Chains A and B, each alone.
Chain A
């Protein structure tokens, strides 16, 4: 089978500083894969090489069997880190999603009937149909993630690339995002993400690439999440626990507690909860 994305002996660096060395990687149509590795391992650089935003110093990157050669990758939807978004920019949800159709809609500045229909459709599909007119700042973390996913999906991509979709949102939202991606993958979408959350990767992704300047290992998480590979990837003492068919990864406990580090901690004060202080504030629900 022809890989959707193919990296052959790719190297990349900023100035004389090497970031990635000899990367060989194939991504097949329908794959759902995560890049994991410590900060500075080159995860985001690797994504940007695949997107065609950065150019490799050596090696070749092919998408759909064609070498990129400095052009942006065709038919790719990209969801950047939420942190990189300018949340004060005056745009509504609909205006952001419409950006995804920049190549397909006509020359007029306003969206056509077809554009509007597609925006409604993709927002309904991601269950944020009622938010089209909202400013992007007035959304929860999960809703923000969905808006940028909607912008990627409306471009009708063959490949979805997401940079740290589980960072900057709470645990429940991160879980929801991964379930949503798994659902999209089941509908045929090829997906590549980066993540810091090894446990989330172990629980949700069928394919994981361990990266630290070079590819340390890749495969299904229950095969490659071993103490040896993770130690080599993270250059630290990692602990892998298997229980009830699940996989847990943790940095090895250092044989100390906070008592050893902070011998005389200043205690906080646990306030008694009065009915008044609970009035309306603590009972608010978290929307995703």
Chain B
């Protein structure tokens, strides 16, 4: 029965095309969803920016760690208190969080970063080093509440 065979062949061929159609229907649905959610993400980004402008202290930590300026006779620093949100860098370059504009201080001088529950202070191979509680710092150390950090003419206290 050639007629029946012909119909069967046509079904087989039609399945080839419906497969391709299905592939692209699936991708079309996914792309449509992804695009919609990209649009909502963009809106979320805008509101995010507003929240950020209100101030970083909105962070939900019970007691954010901070650096208190206790000695700044040459008036090198614009602020008297720095919050350490996740990390903080100190140096002469403008991209640091704490900029100390003094030739004694290296461009990237020191860095404090949070490692789980500890705050680590690291000397970034500065020329003149860091003094912690009267001792020259070698490499890194974990900071505890009340540590006194001296960098050049500036003295800071770590509090948490």
Q: Indicate, yes or no, whether A interacts with B.
A: no
A: residues with CB less than 8 A from B are none
